[in-house]
Amino acid sequence: MIRVAVNAPLLEPLSYLENPEFMSHRGDIVHVSLGRRQCLGIVLGKDSRAPQSGIEYKPIVTKEQQWPSFDDTFLKWLEWVADYYIYPLGQVAQQALPPLDRSLKKRASKRPPVVPVLERTVKPTLTEEQQNCLKNINISDGFSAHLIHGVTGSGKTEIYLRLFEECLSKNKKGIFLLPEISLTPQLVSRFVERFGNEVAVFHSQLTDRERTDQWWEIVEGEKKILIGARSALFCPLKNLGLIVVDEEHETSFKQDEKLKYNGRDCAVMLAKMSNCPIILGSATPSMESWKNHIDGKYKLHTLKSRVAFRPLPEIEIVDMRIEKDKQDRKAQLPFWLSQNLYDKMVHTLEKKEQVALLLNRRGIANMVFCRGCGYSAECPNCDVSLILHGKNHLVCHYCDYHENFKLRCPDCTEGELAPMGLGTEKVEEDLKILFPEARLARADRDEIQSRTDMEDLISNMEKQHIDILIGTQMIAKGLDFAHLNLVGLLLADVGFNLPDFRATEKSFQLIMQMSGRSGRHTEQAGRVVIQTYNTTHDSLVYAQNHDYLGFAQHELQSREPLHYPPFHKMIVFRVQSMNSDTAQKTAQMIKSRLLSIAEKYESHFKNIEVLGPAFAPLARLKNQYRLHIIVKSAQPKALNALARQMLADEKWIPSQARIIVDVDPASLL
């Protein structure tokens, strides 16, 4: 008997008979029968249990020949991922296979190559801080976890490059993880200039053909360094010598759908199982990583200065409550633009330097409403307002519902619908009037829809073909433009008051990261203008002084008494149903089951908190009502065991309801 994890929504493996025509070994990829169909499965090993009477066991059908078997280290890591995130192992393992068969004929493509061909560049001289950092990281000593806390522009990337050089000199492979695909073009160029054709790239904006080709090149050893977003972790590399996670604080490392894993945390476990070091880098480390440093689990390396002692940007905060009452404006400015920021933009553009403006909202306006009767256009599938795009299109950013924008109010039929609020599209429209000579570009999900879109945008910024860049948070992370010396944050308040315990941390990180794009290559300090209606918010007070340490201490002190991460682990059970009553009854059943299990096995599940159920802040999305039950504990294993026990018999779950388990949630919205 052989235990096989099948590609199906089953938390436990199934037992099959050995096929007499071939031997099955742990890690083999096989085809098995499941009901009336065949599916892929991963062999986990021999089944020591005796066959149960009355059950007809089927033999394994065939062994898959095109893909190599998983080695034991990688398979143990897949088992850990499936166990920790309470997800079927067979479906986890499916992510470790390329999207296409290797034998499929390649089509001619006009797309630029995934990895460019570039000339090698001369290595820069290291600063004293960089030298000390490298000296204190030993990549030959097995597993160790290092946190590099370096201010923006301090040269963290050069440290990564030197460490990968050392890794390759030992004939080992390395993985470099980025949170956002938008960061990939610049980083890939830096790596190719240093390592030539040793670099492979893997992320979701590649075509299936491109991802398949890159998968084989890194798995078969043709390439030695894999750069990618979180999914790159699932490439089954052997002989791993180094993992680097850049911008480790980013919640983009957390996958929202299906397998809700955190790429950073999974990378740490892969490094541990591969017995190799892992480097986590950030100017604004996550509270989880900072707490791991405090507890002695991560070794801290600090870079306090920018390269060549270039100054950190000067941050000004503009109170928009006062701004709107000023009568001495030199120009008729739109409501979202302060005189201060406008004057600095004029001055910057006169010097032939670049400006970047951040607004974390797409579209023209974030709602339309009737001034006569108060009606506002809402999505019929979600409890959210429709966003106005292009003056004639109303769109839901959650379910992609859209309808034409009609001026006449559909409710009272007399009033007219007026746009209210602000989005990147509206900012671009206003700037075309204010700066008719300036060359504008917008970076949001409406404009940047492919790998080549992002590559073109970065190239145009580097060649100074863009004067003003307007974008959402995709322009706030890791990008490095030599002539960008003014950054403006419009409506910095957008994320301040979200009903999420991480809201302040995320706001602080976004402000610090975006500010860090300014003045990275000049002797004069870059300039940052933050426009806000809440000038005393914690994230602003600490950001203005570049005081990460003060912020981290304050944030941790506020979370500890509430038992929030990183002090306690958290699992969220989200109940979804098209029927509100069904969702609420199912959520109550979950809470009752959790409490009764915890009471029955009190010695195992003591000190576990169960909160809720309550409707999620976004109470209805895609026609599904959503309720949360939050479970917290200082013992992660007990929390995991409680969740598994609760889900052990799913027959009690109504067919109209769905339960989604989110371990270590990045957001509670």
* Domain span at 30: 2-71+83-94
Domain check: are 206 and 334 in the same one? no
pLDDT of residue 167: 97
Q: Is residue 197 part of a domain?
A: yes
Domain check: are 220 and 341 in the same one? no
Domain check: are 137 and 160 in the same one? yes
Q: Is residue 119 part of a domain?
A: no
Domain check: are 322 and 303 in the same one? no
Domain check: are 57 and 178 in the same one? no
Domain check: are 335 and 482 in the same one? yes
Contact (CB, 8 A) for 570 and 630: yes
Q: Is residue 466 part of a domain?
A: yes
43-47, 450-454, 572-576, 632-636: range with lowest mean pLDDT: 450-454
Q: Is the pLDDT of residue 653 over 90?
A: no
Q: Is the pLDDT of residue 537 over 60?
A: yes
pLDDT in tens, 294-338: 999 999 999 999 998 899 999 999 999 888 766 555 558 999 999
| Percent of the chain whose pLDDT exceeds 90 | 75
pLDDT of residue 185: 82
CATH number of the domain residue 542 falls in: 3.40.50.300
pLDDT of residue 395: 94
Domain check: are 291 and 382 in the same one? no
Contact (CB, 8 A) for 608 and 629: no
pLDDT of residue 91: 97
The last residue of a domain, from among 378, 403, 421? 421
CATH number of the domain residue 64 falls in: 3.40.1440
pLDDT in tens, 336-366: 999 999 999 999 999 999 999 999 888 888 8
pLDDT of residue 571: 97
More confident residue, 192 or 105: 192
Domain check: are 206 and 303 in the same one? yes
Report how far residue 90's alpha carbon sits from residue 43's, in angstroms, rounded to the nearest whole number. 10
98-102, 247-251, 658-662: range with lowest mean pLDDT: 98-102
Q: Is residue 110 part of a domain?
A: no
Q: Is the pLDDT of residue 108 over 80?
A: no
What Å distances lie between residue 607 and 325, 356, 610, 665, CA to CA?
A: 53, 48, 10, 20
Contact (CB, 8 A) for 60 and 16: yes
pLDDT of residue 327: 52
pLDDT of residue 242: 98
pLDDT in tens, 570-620: 999 999 999 999 999 999 999 999 999 999 998 889 889 999 999 999 999
Report how far residue 343's alpha carbon sits from residue 376's, in angstroms, rounded to the nearest whole number. 36
pLDDT-based confidence at residue 518 (cuts at 50, 70, 90): very high
pLDDT-based confidence at residue 54 (cuts at 50, 70, 90): confident
pLDDT-based confidence at residue 103 (cuts at 50, 70, 90): confident
Torsion angle, alpha carbons of 614, 620, 625, 630, to 10: -30
pLDDT-based confidence at residue 498 (cuts at 50, 70, 90): confident
Number of domains in the chain: 5
pLDDT of residue 329: 53
pLDDT of residue 413: 87
Q: Is residue 118 part of a domain?
A: no
pLDDT of residue 331: 56
Domain check: are 466 and 382 in the same one? no
pLDDT in tens, 201-257: 998 888 899 999 999 999 999 999 999 999 999 999 999 999 999 999 999 999 998
Mean of all residue pLDDT scores within the chain = 92
Residue 454 one-letter amino acid: M
pLDDT of residue 105: 67
Backbone angles phi, psi at 361, to 5 degrees: -145, 130
Q: Is the pLDDT of residue 289 over 70?
A: yes
Q: Position of tokens 């790429």?
A: 263
Domain check: are 48 and 165 in the same one? no
Q: Is residue 287 part of a domain?
A: yes
The last residue of a domain, from among 279, 307, 335? 307
Burial 144-160 (b: 16+ CB within 10 A, else e): bbbbbbbbbbbbbbbbb
Residues with Cβ within 8 Å of 598's Cβ and at least 6 positions away in sequence, in order, are 605, 606, 608, 610, 642
Q: Is residue 31 part of a domain?
A: yes
The last residue of a domain, from among 391, 421, 451? 421
Q: Is residue 659 part of a domain?
A: yes
Domain check: are 169 and 287 in the same one? yes
Domain check: are 427 and 536 in the same one? yes
